[in-house]
Structure 1
């Protein structure tokens, strides 16, 4: 199986790539600075790296060519109460993905898997005590994720929108809960990557669905 990854240089995308190469999947990633990728030499030997930018359509096209699944793990960097990085990058990245896939006009289109967030489509999957925090800090990033989600849902392409609770750098536990409407406080990036790999990719579940994931 061939998987293309946008946003592989850090966080959930990085964790997914590390776990996916252990399953011998064919992984292609897009990176602005290939020389700064946080992977070992052994890991890099198992990854196809395309130098480029998710904001450039031609670079996206090179990355996803021949892919069965495309994972979009783009987004702003959120640490504590601060937000940095390319806020809104997922909106443009998803637009480029959809246009590129449709222009390729392949017999079978790849499935788009996007790492989104709880609270993007309402508060039903956000604990009550966290809702003020979400509204104060995450309104802007969530607006961009909502646009990206809407574009994917209306693209006519097969998709999965993964909505994790507040992300941590915790260890892989494999004891998370994942389904539509799951409500919880946190989940590690390693466990989100595990869910995407094991359930969404390898088990081919949650097609055209929007599962939330939390402990």
Structure 2
């Protein structure tokens, strides 16, 4: 499979890139700092690095061209990266005839159990006082919901660095009850697996231990 990955140098994106290469896929990554990914060359598969970012239409076209599926592990970067890049990503994928997108979201945009009709970040379920990051992920969600893409949003709760531990739980639309954390390792493994599954097509998936 030809896989394009955005945010490949991040905590989760780098691990997804590693899994794809280890399994012999052709991977094209879009990176502002290609040097951060040079060490992955030769780890299996074929790695192509396009220098640029997801706000540059030309760079997106180059990185996504020929892909069978796209992974977005972009973070908010404390700004408006998601709300600005997702319209470009959707437009570029549509232009190139790519349908499948797996993206990393946040548990804040899952549905609230205690306050139906609200998302977790809008409800008392969230302990976070600052909602800027969740609002950015919500903006990306709204863009996906109005698109024709076959998308899956993997929504982890508290996300410490760490290897895959296994035994995690997943739930469509909600954070698994009493879920408090999930490692970057298990988040990456689950997200990678969704490239080969349509079980959660056009859905948000909560993931936690």
Structure-2 separation of matches of 1:201 and 1:45: 16
**Which of 189, 192, 198 matches 1:194?**
189
Q: 1:36, CA displacement in angstroms?
A: 2.9
2:116 maps to which residue? none
CA contact (8 A) 1:94 1:148 kept: yes
Q: 1:103, CA displacement in angstroms?
A: 2.7
Give secondary structure in 2 for the equivalent of 1:59: helix
Mapping for residues 152-163 of structure 1, pairs under 5 Å: 152-163=144-155
Query: What stretches of structure 2 of length at least 5 have no aligned partner?
Result: 114-118
Aligned residues: 199
Give secondary structure in 1 for the equivalent of 2:87: helix
Whether 1:115 and 2:108 are equivalent positions in the alignment is no
2:164 maps to which residue? 172
CA contact (8 A) 1:174 1:194 kept: no
Give secondary structure in 1 for the equivalent of 2:142: helix
**Which of 80, 84, 96 matches 1:88?**
80
Structure-2 separation of matches of 1:182 and 1:122: 8
Q: TM-score, normalised by structure 1?
A: 0.84
Mapping for residues 1-215 of structure 1, pairs under 5 Å: 1-37=1-37, 39-43=39-43, 46-76=46-76, 85-104=77-96, 106=97, 109-124=98-113, 131-134=125-128, 136-137=129-130, 139-180=131-172, 181-183=174-176, 184-198=179-193, 200-215=194-209
1:80 maps to which residue? none
Q: Deviations over 1:174-202 (max 9, x none)?
A: 2211121232111011101101122x113
Structure-2 separation of matches of 1:209 and 1:41: 33
1:82 maps to which residue? none
CA contact (8 A) 1:74 1:93 kept: no
Q: 1:12, CA displacement in angstroms?
A: 0.8
Give secondary structure in 1 for the equivalent of 2:163: coil
Structure-1 separation of matches of 2:12 and 2:160: 10
CA contact (8 A) 2:107 2:157 kept: yes
Structure-2 separation of matches of 1:65 and 1:58: 11
Q: TM-score, normalised by structure 2?
A: 0.86
Shift >4 Å, 4+ stretches: none
What CA RMSD, in Å, does the superposition of the two structures yield over aligned residues? 2.2
Q: Deviations over 1:100-147 (max 9, x none)?
A: 12233x3xx331111101121443386xxx83522x13x001111101
1:81 maps to which residue? none
